A and B are shown apart, each in its own frame.
Chain A
Amino acid sequence: MELAEFNQDGVTIVEARGRIDSASSRDLAARLSALLTAGSQKLLVDLSQALYISSGGFRALLSAGQQSEDRGCQFGLCGLSSEVYRLFEIGAFVDLFRIYSSRHEGIRQIG
């Protein structure tokens, strides 16, 4: 997995590319946690380049979602492929996150 970070219209976008597995999800959790601790108020995770997410990756997203609630940060996900969306469905995560069709839409809604 590789992480890239962008800022647009006041929204911090973290793009997670490749395999979000049990090992790499620690990096994702650490990056999101660092942004939230630093005071990020609008955070969007772009999953359009993610090949898959295993349960460790969902743990990282859940933790960031909880931390966002605590800190009053607007937290969203975007760009889920149909394969990745199915992984959200299997774990019943669809209703736990604000999920936007694209980065553009996410920025428009959160920003």
Chain B
Amino acid sequence: MGEPASMTRRRFEIPNRSEASAALAPELEAFGLSHGVPLSVLNDLNVVLDELVTNVISYGYADGAEHVIVIDVDVADGAVVVEVVDDGVAFDPMAEPAPDLRGNLRERRIGGLGIQYVKHLTDSCCYSRVDGKNHLRVMRRVGVQGR
């Protein structure tokens, strides 16, 4: 099965520092807008990317060294696919239990919430561990999600 002719791809490589992750958002937005992706979808994807990259930066590395996180973005007909690849410790965020969303202001905890956003703001998520790297691939349909 060949890839659609209209598919366009952009690769971003960032160091494992939070300010580098923040700098990614306007770039993803500009790339998506230039390919006709609605801003509302790009905002959702920027939330997803912030959660995924923040997870990797916070929990992926124990050595204190600089690592490169690779983010591939594909804009195809009707969907945007984002894949985050890191060489941190093996971790499948999709296998984590759903966060506890009960409780009042004082009882609420934020742990695990990032993945809640990733799942709700995408149409599919897929984790794999390949050659010592975590691959987290998400797909978000454009225009037909109806939410």
Contact = CB atoms under 8 A, between A and B. Distances in A.
Contacts of B105: 62, 65-66, 69, 96-97
Contacts of A83: 40, 43-44
A59 B110 contact: yes
B89 interface: no
Contact count band on A: 20 to 34
B93 interface: no
Given A24-B22, A51-B43, A54-B114, 6 more contacts: A21-B22, A52-B46, A54-B54, A87-B117, A91-B113, A92-B101
A54 B50 contact: yes
Contacts of A24: 22
A56 B50 CA distance: 9
Interface in B19-60: 19, 21-22, 25, 40, 43-44, 46-47, 50-51, 54
Contact of B46 (A21, A92, A96): A21
A62 B54 contact: no
A74 to B, nearest CB: 13
B20 to A, nearest CB: 9
24 contacts: A19-B25, A21-B21, A21-B22, A21-B25, A22-B54, A23-B19, A51-B43, A51-B46, A52-B46, A54-B47, A54-B50, A54-B114, A55-B110, A55-B114, A62-B108, A62-B110, A69-B106, A90-B121, A91-B101, A91-B113, A91-B116, A96-B104, A96-B105, A96-B108
